[in-house]
Structure 1
Amino acid sequence: MNIIFLRDGHGQSRARSMGARAVVLTVVLALSLVAALLAGAFWLGRQSAASDASITPELVKTWQENLKQQKEEIRTYKSLAQQNIDALTLRMGELQARLLRLDALGQRLTDVAGLDEGEFDFESSPALGGPEEPALEQSFSVPMLTQVLESIEQQAESREQQLRVMDELFVNQRFQREQFVAGRPIKKGWLSSHYGFRSDPFTGKRAWHSGVDFAGKEGSDIVAVAGGVVTHSEERFGYGNLVEVNHGGGLVTRYAHCAKLMVKTGDVVQKGQVLAKMGSTGRSTGPHVHFEVLQDGRSANPTKFIHRASR
């Protein structure tokens, strides 16, 4: 048999001769290839049919139930996460309230202690800084945040207790300073009569004088020499208009012959507060204030209280 090979274009054709055996072998190979392709297509079809047959309604139902269960678990996790967020938010609110109380206590202590407001400004964030360090890749988890919040709460509670104690100490110290009897009962004037025996200004005879007198201008201020409670503020025989202040610790001061009383019984007064205006009421020869000090109910020499240094 002759086989003719044709070339594209204008090239010459060539012929090749093949024997009968070669022709038969070529045909057999071609038929084998076709048979193999048909067998492969048939096997793939059977496999696909078998796969389709394995997806039963029961299997589909199982898948649906698993999917439903997974969705339910997701909803549960979301609910737990929201509860954790709500709990953390509540604790953050409590911490903010405590911090506000701490700021108020700190500001009060700053005022009581007379500290510089610029040095302790509780309305500003504290100054922080430092060299930059590589950050950890791990973020805070909910348990870690909970531990941090618990630690902050304990520290805030401890600081709050300490500040309360300090506040009480400062208040007590200030109260003691207020109660400390010292100084003169006038802002302007001069000492006109001492404590002890003297010549009575009306009779000329030797008589006991239970206080000291400060003369001054009519209507000038008479001030408290210490903080306390007004126990008497009205006229009394011999004293004229009288203010009496109890300072605690057994100490009482009296301010007599006043022209006008500026406080009333029961008032709480501070050191240096104006109690009355200087006058000449009662047994008096002119504008002055008769100043007495009683210690445990007995007359005491006001001079030692007048000249001692204030706290």
Structure 2
Amino acid sequence: MLCVVYRQVTFSNTYNSSNTVTGFILLGFTYAGETQKLLFMLLLMIYILTLLGNGSIICAVCWDERIHTPMYVLLANFSFLEICYVTTTVPNMLANFFSETKVISFSGCFLQFYLFFSLGSVECLFLAIMAFDRYLAICRPLHYHFIMTRHLRTRLVVSCWVIGFLWFLVPIIIISQLSFCDPKIIDHILCDPSPILVLTCTPAPVMELTLSFLTSIILVVPFLFIIGTYTLVLKAVLKIPSRRGKRKAFSTCGSHIVVVSLFYGPAMVMYVRPRPGHEGQTQKIVTLFYSMVTPFLNPVIYSLRNKEMKDALRKVLKC
């Protein structure tokens, strides 16, 4: 610990002679010895399995013509999004475990900040679109293929990416123009707005409120849409006379509901109702869960109770 503190003090002192910020110290996890190594191996394994799992779903949907349906095409796009989402933070997080200085450049920090929040916004919108797809399939089965055409599906997917990458663009540019004071230490596993804004030389309450408002909107509005959609789906499923029909309807929606719960639970705890208790290790663990563990579990959840996806994945493994 004395060694770490010494490095932090040395790093911050190098910036006292200049008003230009060229980097931050991203502390990450500060466990010592074997615990640090074990955590590194665990996260590396989860990252590799996340890439393999989501990549397998993309390959299965591309190669198996039997599942070229809107639901699976959206799932393949969602898996690609998850690969991008974890790749924005995890490689840097893993490299940071054995870094002596734990320095991240100014531009690298804000690029990570922008990509992480933008891809998170895209994920919120994607989950809402996937819920809408399930609503059409169960509540409007006769009109499903006439409504969910390839043209509409493409427009929805593109809209998610465009809105997600524009949503936080202006606030992040403004924050990057602020002045930051020593010591420039971010006690987190990634460049998150809360620890970054703490480092500003002058308080920026308007920017904090703006970020909080935008984050709440992009989380709450799609979430309420998903709840409303599944309320209608539940009513329609309860009207299905056969048990087999009900079971099939629930199985197609159950995976999506689990993923929504895993993503929105920790995200809302972190950003919709921020509390003083969300500091230190607790903040890091909660962030790690929705940014890394959830993408890792998605392929398992979507393939566990889905026979068509299991068959498609077996086909990929044989190839």
TM-score range, shorter chain: under 0.3
Greater percentage in strand: 1
Greater relative CO (CA pairs within 8 A, separation 6+): 2
TM-score normalized with structure 1 length: 0.23
Greater percentage in helix: 2
